[in-house]
Amino acid sequence: MKKTLHCFWAILAVVAISFSACKKAEPTVAEKMIGIWTLNKFDFKIKVAGQDFPTDTADTDPTAEKPLLEFKADKKLVITTKDDDGNIEKREGTWELLENDTKMKMSGLIDPEGFTGGEFELEPATIDALQTFTITELTGNSLKMNSKGTTKIKVDPFPFPVDVEINPFIELKK
């Protein structure tokens, strides 16, 4: 009887160890990022010379197709959008995780060509800062991030450049 009891406990221990060894490891932040994400929400706040500046980022057409961001395992980023005529446009960039996976730096998210010359020009350092996000939430199908960039631009009626702070918020869904 004593031998049977020892055998029972030994078999139970082996079974318990085998079940605990089969647990699947929690995916890393990088592994959760891989895949195609849809831009679900984009919002930003602007301060000019320390004062809030009104912005209108409400979706004008909720049925319109939203941009896609594809994060690839090789750290490439593909951004797919449609122009006003419905033509598909793709832009490529990169992505990397920083500061113990709490921040993400991207390139290619902002097209620098759209922010050179004219009334509203962003400096390269500002574009870089605006493409570096703090990850505020990441699950298997939801990613929320925010960023902050400050630049000097000439804004009428000021006769000199003023500090402009831009704080974008992005929500993506898989």
Coil vs helix vs strand at 139: coil
* pTM assigned to the model: 0.73
Mind listing the pLDDT tens digit for each residue in 70-116? 999 999 999 998 887 889 999 999 999 999 999 999 998 877 665 55
Q: Name all domains of the chain by residue range, CATH numbers in brackets.
A: 29-173 (2.40.128.280)
Mind listing the pLDDT tens digit for each residue in 18-60? 555 556 788 999 999 999 999 988 887 777 777 787 766 555 4
Report the alpha-carbon distance of residue 33 to residue 95 in Å, rounded.
10
In degrees, rounded to 5, the angle at the alpha carbon of residue 74 between the alpha carbons of residues 137 and 87 is: 80
Mind listing the pLDDT tens digit for each residue in 1-25? 555 545 555 554 555 555 555 567 8
Give me the pLDDT at residue 64, please.
66
